[in-house]
Amino acid sequence: MALLKILRYPDPRLHKIAKPVTEFGTERLRKLVADMADTMYDAPGVGLAATQVDVHERVIVIDVSETHDQLIVFINPEITWASEDKQVYDEGCLSVPGIYDGVERPAKVKVRAYDVEGKEFTVDADGLLAVCIQHEMDHLMGKVFVEYLSPLKRNRIKAKLQKEERGMEREAARAGGRR
Ligand code: K1U
Ligand code: ZN
């Protein structure tokens, strides 16, 4: 089991655009997916995009089940249909820890994607799965959910997380000095 470091907003690497996966069924892709799933379950979260672990390829893992045993791996996902009706969901993000806020998105989506072996599949999603797929696909396009919020809220969130980051860096430097 390998846990990957999750980038924290406002890290500029969260705004990189991910490239499509071109080689399927490789050990490298299998390991990336396994490590991403371990990282998501450990966090804990219900989704994770490769962008968040500084890998800029179109790979997403999601498990919205209560039993944490229904992992879905989406490689090169594309939304082929989105409903006219919208829903507002209080979203969270492992890259924006401790912040939850309402985002309006299409309530239902159809997604086409590939599994690790390169086999195509489609998913009809609603509820949290639909929210999570759209949130993770935004990550692959370099977009973080706070960009849907007002500039005032976004700047407050940015300042809070930057302050926390400075505190963590100071603590790490102190711990290093004690060694
Ligand atoms: O960082 C991420 O992209 C994952 C994110 C996914 C998400 C959740 C809710 C709405 C939209 C997108 C999370 O998993 S945040 C953590 C979270 O929702 C959660 C944590 C523990 C138990 C259950 C949920
Ligand atoms: Zn996120």
pTM higher than 0.85, yes or no?
Answer: yes
Q: What is the 119 CA–ligand 2 centroid distance (Å)?
A: 26
Residues within a 6 A CB radius of ligand 1: 44-48, 52, 89, 91-95, 131-132, 135-136
Could you read off the pLDDT of 119-171 as tens digits, one per residue? 999 999 999 999 999 999 999 999 999 999 999 999 999 999 999 999 999 99
Q: What is the 6 CA–ligand 2 centroid distance (Å)?
A: 10
pLDDT bin (cut points 50, 70, 90) of residue 179 is: low
Specify the residue with its C-alpha closest to ligand 1, atom 9: 91
Q: Which atom of ligand 1 is nearest to the CA of 95?
A: 1
Specify the residue with its C-alpha closest to ligand 1, atom 14: 45
**Beta carbons of 118 and 24 less than 8 angstroms apart:** yes
Distances in Å between the Cα of 179 and the Cα atoms of 11, 113, 160, 172, 176 are: 28, 47, 29, 11, 5
The answer to whether 164 is a known catalytic residue is: no
Structure tokens at 174: 């102190």
Beta bridge partners of 125: 109
pLDDT mean over 19-23: 98
40: which residues sit within 8 A by CB, 6+ positions away?
Answer: 46, 47, 48, 61, 63, 94
